[in-house]
Amino acid sequence: GESVGLHLPTLSVQEGDNSIINCAYSNSASDYFIWYKQESGKGPQFIIDIRSNMDKRQGQRVTVLLNKTVKHLSLQIAATQPGDSAVYFCAENMNTGFQKLVFGTGTRLLVSP
């Protein structure tokens, strides 16, 4: 598989547990946030997004929470499955006069059966 995750923080959970992956973003003017999932050997895949006028958004088994006060974003995965094992990235759209999407370095999620 690809070696992009050599130095990533890792979250290890058991199958069926709920997982929470955290992300601190840098710019208080950022107005759009995305979570991506990257499996070994594949490109990042969109999971869920949220705009800055919301603080929570739910998808299928996933919830994104946005705390603008402390510039914190989290991804909650309910009933984690082995297929959820991947690297998860947050990205922020830095709306500072021009639009720019900036990615975090990622968190590796390992799900044990």
Contacts with another protein, residue ranges (CB under 8 A): 2-8, 31-32, 34, 36, 41-46, 49, 89, 93, 95, 99-101, 103-106
Of 24 and 79, nearer to another protein (C-beta) is 24
Of 8 and 17, nearer to another protein (C-beta) is 8
Instruction: Tell me how far the alpha carbon of residue 77 is from its chain's centroid.
Output: 10
Q: Smallest gap, in angstroms, from Cβ of residue 54 to another protein?
A: 15
Of 15 and 31, nearer to another protein (C-beta) is 31
Cα–Cα dist 61/9, whole Å: 22
Cα–Cα dist 62/31, whole Å: 20
Q: Smallest gap, in angstroms, from Cβ of residue 63 to another protein?
A: 17
* Selection from 32, 38, 26, 27 nearest residue 109 by Cα: 38
The β-bridge partners of 86 are 109
